Amino acid sequence: MPKECRHNGHIFYIKVKDIEERSLLIKHLYDNGVNAVFHYIPLHSSPMGNKTGYFNGIDRYTSRDSERLLRLPMYYVMGKDETNSVVDQIKMFYQ
């Protein structure tokens, strides 16, 4: 990234194996002071999507991949210490 620019990202996520692993990792992070959440719910399975929409075709990836996404903390003033803490906790979970 050029020196005169700043990162404008507002979401950082990882993909885990499945919804069970995601739930366990969220709990591990929460128990260790890290607020991580699941994020994307496919539109076709949202309350409004169930009421007014439909899924066109075969759902090969959408639902499965939405269950694998884990949104990690990311905010404007997040420093290296906070970032390293998140990374350390994820590493600890997978050891």
Taking only the tens place, the pLDDT of each residue in 36-55 is 998 788 988 889 888 998 88
Domain harbouring 20, CATH code: 3.90.1150.10
Confidence at 76, pLDDT banded by 50, 70, 90: confident
Is 74 a domain residue?
A: yes
86: helix, coil or strand? helix
Contacts 24+ apart (CB under 8 A), 25-31: 25/70, 25/90, 25/93, 26/70, 28/89, 28/92, 28/93, 29/86, 29/89, 29/90, 29/93
DSSP annotation of 37 reads: B
Domain limits for position 67: 12-94
pTM, full prediction = 0.83
Is 7 a domain residue?
A: no
Residue 39, pLDDT score: 78
Is 44 a domain residue?
A: yes
Residue 28 has pLDDT above 90, yes or no: yes
Q: What is the mean pLDDT of residues 70-79?
A: 89
Is 4 a domain residue?
A: no
- How far is the C-alpha of 82 from the C-alpha of 58, rounded, in Å? 41
92: enclosing H helix or E strand:
helix 80-94
Is 1 a domain residue?
A: no
Domain count, the chain: 1
